[in-house]
Amino acid sequence: MATQARELPPKQELPRDDGDDYEDDEDEEEEEGEEGWDDWESDGDDAAGGSGGLLCLFCSARFDSDGPLFAHCGSVHGFDFHKLVRELGLDFYGCIKLINFVRSKVRLLSPLASMTALSFLARLVAENKCWSCAEISQLEGKVPWAEDSYLKPFMEDDSLLHSLSIFDDEEDEDCGMPVVTGECSVGNGRSGELQGNGLNTIIDDCSDISARFEKAVTTESNGGDNNGSLSEEQTDRQLKITRASVTAKEIKKVDDNYFGSYSSFGIHREMLGDKVRTDAYRDALLDNPSLMNGATVLDVGCGTGILSLGFSSAKAGASRVVAVDGSAKMSSVATHVAKNNGLLYDENANTEQKGGPQVISVVHTKAEELNHKIVVPPNGFDVLVSEWMGYCLLYESMLSSVIYARDHFLKPGGAILPDTATILGAGFGRGGTSLPFWENVYGFDMSCIGKEVTGSSARFPVVDVLDSKDVVTDTAVLHYFDLATMKESEMDFTASLELRLPESGAAAVAGVTWCHGIVLWFDTGFTDRFCKDKPVVLSTSPFSTPTHWSQTIFTFEEPIAITNEKSVVGSSASVGSAECPAGTIRSRISIVRASEHRSIDISIETTGISSDGRKRSWPAQIFNL
């Protein structure tokens, strides 16, 4: 799904297109039902929350934004969220964990017990908020919400988690306040000195917060009085250790830019014109009638709706198709296209009129917020289809939305298309760089420019079509994803490539070959696990017909000599040089989601290994895509 400039420096913003020619008819795209597919009714933005808004942590009150909500929590329930965030130095993810922790504990309370017990929790946490920078680092993992399990929303479709703006007003603040060595605020107006094992005592107390809290809950439920005299006095020394690396406001901005970029018809023209891409999806959907006939289908990131309109519905025989897109403009476009082609579902039609080709509903939303827009039967889809792939497979991080949709909306055992993805790589030679071009520009030697451009390429990944003749090593698999079972955390991984020259065949070469870097691409599979009639493979390999994804090229700081021949025993030359070429190039590659939402960071650690076992390692290279 990725379409971008061919050289991608860090933190490049996607273009925006705020055209709204089609937005007048957005109301037509929201259709839903209570139990079955034939009875959907519009539910607007309040589908997931009754009267809508953000739900209080402790009661049924709802608010338009998180500011009034947290003010209410402080004044009514005695829970000062902002104070805890400041003084415990919680980052964005720490806030998410704390919210889910509190919601999980509130469920244990009766309505009559909640105020005093939660006030106790607030005070209890506040008792343990007073460490210096060094001491905070030792505390990591000790608070009762430190478990990663609290990153998972306790309350399904918790809008508060998507609306946190608590760090937005802190852009000009210092990262911390000075702390006098040996002293700390203990949360009740006193200063204490930590010596010996004093810190361990505090940590142990903090690690037992959960048990103490649940004990207080039990006391409250039994009618006991737990109105303790714990002081809530604010001290002068407030320690702020860190700010969130990713705030809800930043995520929203990136999402707006991301979805806005797909409002450009030029991008969709390029994707629709990618015959390899479009034919693969067409074949998978149209040539597998045993999968598609009568199926309910969810299309995540529908764009113009080609997968829903042309392949999943009228031709493939699906009984119901819900097409979801985060771009308001493209959702409206897809709605108009479906209507113009007689495929748009009409919720007002009577039962006798339903069941024809009018099976498509288009919903403007992110997959994670689908239940905010419509009500669907839980795990009610037979097939989940999405063209989610980006450059280097994972750029744009849309895979997380597909995994969310799979876990929440797909039937157990339902089909996800595609269902596998593999990242592959190989080494490329001099022809994969810009050096040959600059050496002869209309008869002039401009190789000085070529060297500078190549140096820049060693810092930024380049997205381009690499000629297959410039691939100099065998192909190797970097990483494999089973999309039917993988977890979102598996999007971040570290794996190794071992690259060698071909030993036989037309590609085999004698002597020394120079490897200038690594090229990565991906294949996605519509395997016979679900596509039993006709499995399909969509490949972006340099050995296949080029696609709009091209390949992603990572240039070494310096080229590495590689050979199939034996190294000279006793040579003092460096491995990877012309005098002592490597027999194997081993690259340890990490691909992780970057702190900037929807970006990825790639690190490459390269080692040359000679035929006699000697090794040479080069400094790690860090790329942002």
CB atoms within 10 A of CB 625: 25
- Known catalytic membership, residue 387: yes
Question: Which tokens hold the place of 308?
Answer: 């829903």
Question: Which tokens hold the place of 148?
Answer: 């990663």
- Locus of tokens 């808004």: 53
Report the C-alpha gap between 375 and 240 in whole angstroms: 42
- Known catalytic membership, residue 439: no
- 403 CB contacts (<8 Å, ≥6 apart)? 483, 486, 487, 488
- 250 CB contacts (<8 Å, ≥6 apart)? 596, 597
- Give, in order, the Cα–Cα distances in Å from 561 to each of 148, 315, 432, 616: 44, 54, 15, 12
- Locus of tokens 């509903």: 361
Report the C-alpha gap between 223 and 250 in whole angstroms: 45
DSSP 23-77: GGGGGGG----SSSGGG----GGGTTTTT-SEEPSSSS-EESSHHHHHHHHHHHH
Length of the chain: 625
Residue 495's beta-bridge partner residues?
A: 589
Annotated catalytic residue: which of 135, 232, 396, 596? 396
Half-sphere exposure of 280 (CA within 13 A, CB side): 23
Annotated catalytic residue: which of 127, 173, 387, 565? 387
Question: Number of helices and strands (H, E) in the chain?
Answer: 17, 20
DSSP 228-254: -----PPPS--------SS-HHHHHHH
Angle between helices 92-106 and 209-221 (to 10 degrees): 30
Q: In angstroms, how far is CA 456 from the centroid of its own chain?
A: 27
Helix H or strand E segment including 285: helix 275-286
Catalytic residues: 387, 396
